[in-house]
Structure 1
Amino acid sequence: MIKKASLILCLLFSVSIFSQAEEILPPDFIKTITFKGSTSQAQLPILRLGEPFTLEFDALTGNEEDFYYKIEHFDFDWKPSQLVKGEYLRGVDNVRIINYLNSLNTYQIYSHYDLRIPNIQTKGLLKSGNYMITIYDDYDEIMFSRKFMVVEDLVTVGVQPSRTRDFETINEKQTVYLKINTNGINLNNPLETVKVKIIQNNNLKTAISDLKPQYTTNSELIYRYDEEASFWAGNEYLNFESKNVRVANLGIQFIDLKELYHSYLFKQISRKNRPYTWNPDINGNFLINAVGVDNIDTQADYTVVHFTLLEDEIIGKDVHVYGNFNNFEIEDMTRMFYNRESGQYECSFKLKQGFYNYKFVTVDLDGTIDEGAISGNFWQTENNYKTLVYYRDLGARFDRLIGFGEADSERITN
């Protein structure tokens, strides 16, 4: 019996060591999870080593819940690193979030939580690399977790989006060329020790990883892959703005006051077979904003936003509203239901006042997401590309994040 229990524990330990960490979705009452760096709001938190940051979120219960946090370090592939906590964290975690305020003059009652690092207990992070922050309650039940990255600027990363050279997808894909300048640092055996991750529009779920440099010199690593470093170009995101809940703003057809304000967006149609039209967006992100308030953290209200897509029923696939408002997750909240009487897809959910980007995507039964099935893919689309460069020296015990670069495809080249 003891041997059997020991075997089970060993198996569980092996699974935890060799499995990749995944972010945990928050429950329905946790909303508007936002990272902020020292200078601006960041929907994909890539921080400099030593830079302070803030994690904010709202709990829509009105009960002033107690929440706690812990921080863990991971390798390039999001498997737990070999570092013990004292090696990457100065101070302690597993402590309560003490900064929170209740909403004021809002129809939706909520508490706004504000976790700042460094603080009295957690003095700061000591190593670069991948991190996961996990929020849990009094009963040790995990509320949600979010990934973030800490970079030390040791190398310079050049990022060049380009139109793909593959004639079969030349009108639908973009590829990303990279050039890493080592700045005089000796990177031992870069074919094995250097790893890169290319991220389109802050979406870690579609990132491209594990590309090896094609050419190396004394000072540069060059990546000029075509198919291996190509992304579906997508289309510009749709948007709406709810900074004033009492009148219709950008993208909102009309509003209605019930238990909360309801914002009804203009009906949208499929753009897949329509000509590409440039439309300024923020690449799927969102920005909390409200007019006539002193503190948007606690005085911005929640509205029920209604999405409508005029489209024939798509058999065998679900249609979802997609964007960084929920970290590009596919969940029940974002699933659209087909109304056969009106011939359209519909769904609604709560969002805090602000400016939001979104698009409609299809999801297969196996969970495969097709961002272009409704929006289309156009090589001209303006996308943001970020590149992370990791390095594990010979004999090292963790992956350092030694470089970061980004570029937009607004002026894409052939």
Structure 2
Amino acid sequence: MRLLPCLSFLLLAAACVPLGTPITDPNGTATSQRPPEYYADRTLRYEDYIYDPDIKSVQCYVGTGVNTQIFQPPVVPLGQSRGIVLEFDLLGEQSERLTTKLIHCDVDWKPSVLTDLQFLYEINEFLITSYQTSVGTKTPYYHYRTTAPATKLSGNYLWVVQNGAGVPLLSRRLVVYENQVQVSLAPGIPPGGEQRYTLQQLDFSIGYGSMQLVNPAVEVKVVLRQNFRWDNARYGLRPTFVRDADRRLDYQYFNYENAFPGLSEYRFFDTRSIQAAGLSVQRINAKVAPTTVLLVPEIPRGTTAYNQYVDANGQRVFESREYGDGRYNADYAATTFQLKSDQPAPGPVYVFGALSDWRLKDEFKMEYNEATQTYTATALLKQGYYNYDFAVAGANGPNETYFEGTHQQTENNYDLLVYYRPPGTRADLLIGYQMVAVNSRQ
């Protein structure tokens, strides 16, 4: 489900943050009238998270200078971390003094014991100096932009934005890698019958002929991701074959440990113009503040055949077709989603994707109307082109297959991260990285 070369075609049709203890239960007690995810103490979470409801439209990517750069995940080789860009909006008419800092983390995204100067070249507090007020918008906001500092070590980093009181406003995960091992990642064939038509399996191997690894079968740790998502990443994978003579680890599973639902190409809508209805937009009312947008009713795809088209793998791009630069000229609109369903789902239903940080967020929770047999949800979203799908909350997390179905033919990106902690050291290094596109449309 990759946009990349087809982007143009498709679009035309100053204190430190307290470390604390990571919160693992997202269903905390609500404070005031804010959604339950916003906590009074805003304890830092070591994950992609927004701590303030006035923070909107967060994008963290590798700035390549091309039109598709916003779809490049924050993954860079060691020595190029300054290429990672963070952009976001702060709603309101008053700017704030905001700073950022990096926290070095272990492979399981817990803070490491390293001191700041062991992984950075400078003091770990960076003032955001690039920001601009919105122009010509009904919803006032300030748009902030900054770049990541250079790092000395490969591995996992949590990038935190904080206000003048040291309170976190948002956090983003970024990774820095060095290719010290040879990673081979390729699509495989899931064992079994029906799964061959619904799952996508990734087989891979790690060659360590040029690096001395101690007990690699145990000490080498891998993370396998679909579309650069952390919420459904595969952890704890162990090699199925250890080939000491070839100095290679093979990972070829038979119980679907390294298989993902292929899902369907993502749904989409286009609100880059508020003067005329774009793709999947039913009605626009620009006479109210904020502007309201009603999307066309969607239908479940759980039992329908696969439909091929180019998408953006759940991502979104902000732009205004009326005038100016989408970063600070695009306005916000109260956008209403509609999903037809003959009966209620077996759990709460959410609009899901990069627009929700790949989380089941209260502002994207849908309500079911039995009279019209329709789910609806309204969220304040910046003008742009969006991908999304519908997910049902379940015991094992978001269930995207209930309304979306799953197909082996779907285009998806997968990447593999290989970690290793050398003996006597205190940091998990990212010693290998590779990305592969399954069912690429190129």
Q: TM-score, normalised by structure 2?
A: 0.83
Amino acid at match of 1:108: T
Amino acid at match of 2:401: G
Which residue in 2 is equivalent to 1:320? Answer: 350
**Counterpart selection for 1:97 from 128, 148, 153:** 128
**Counterpart selection for 1:342 from 369, 372, 378:** 372
Which residue in 2 is equivalent to 1:277? Answer: 307
Residue 192 of structure 2 is aligned to residue 151 of structure 1 = no
**Inter-partner Cα distance in structure 2 for 1:202 and 1:15:** 25
1:67-78 equivalence runs, <5 A: 67-78=98-109
Shift of 1:273: 1.0
Shift of 1:138: 2.5
Superimposed CA distance per residue, residues 292-347 of structure 1 (whole angstroms, 9 cap, x where no aligned partner): 43422111222222110001342551000000123201111110011233220001
**Inter-partner Cα distance in structure 2 for 1:411 and 1:340:** 40
**Aligned residue pair count:** 395
Whether contact under 8 Å (2:62, 2:72) holds in the other structure is no
Identity, % of aligned positions: 30
Whether contact under 8 Å (2:47, 2:158) holds in the other structure is no
**Inter-partner Cα distance in structure 2 for 1:162 and 1:245:** 44
The runs of 5 or more residues in structure 1 that have no matched partner are 1-11, 119-123
Shift of 1:233: 1.7
Shift of 1:202: 1.7
Stretch moving more, 28-37 or 218-227: 218-227
Superimposed CA distance per residue, residues 192-239 of structure 1 (whole angstroms, 9 cap, x where no aligned partner): 221111001121010001222233353533211132111122111101
**Inter-partner Cα distance in structure 2 for 1:362 and 1:43:** 28
SS at match of 1:111: strand
Which residue in 2 is equivalent to 1:218? Answer: 246
Shift of 1:407: 1.2
1:254-403 equivalence runs, <5 A: 254-257=283-286, 258-314=288-344, 316-364=346-394, 366=395, 368-403=397-432
Shift of 1:94: 3.1
Q: TM-score, normalised by structure 1?
A: 0.89
**Inter-partner Cα distance in structure 2 for 1:127 and 1:18:** 27
SS at match of 1:154: coil
Distance 1:17 1:334, change over 3 A: closer
Whether contact under 8 Å (2:206, 2:248) holds in the other structure is yes
**Inter-partner Cα distance in structure 1 for 2:396 and 2:142:** 33
Whether contact under 8 Å (2:198, 2:408) holds in the other structure is yes
Whether contact under 8 Å (1:161, 1:174) holds in the other structure is yes
Q: CA RMSD in A?
A: 2.5
Q: Which structure's residues are more often strand, by fraction?
A: 1
Whether contact under 8 Å (2:209, 2:246) holds in the other structure is no
Which residue in 1 is equivalent to 2:15? Answer: none
SS at match of 2:121: strand
**Inter-partner Cα distance in structure 2 for 1:213 and 1:134:** 34
Which residue in 1 is equivalent to 2:437? Answer: 408
Amino acid at match of 1:270: P
Shift of 1:408: 1.7
**Inter-partner Cα distance in structure 1 for 2:206 and 2:22:** 33
Stretch moving more, 58-67 or 288-297: 288-297
Distance 1:236 1:13, change over 3 A: closer
**Inter-partner Cα distance in structure 2 for 1:270 and 1:97:** 43
**Inter-partner Cα distance in structure 2 for 1:13 and 1:358:** 32
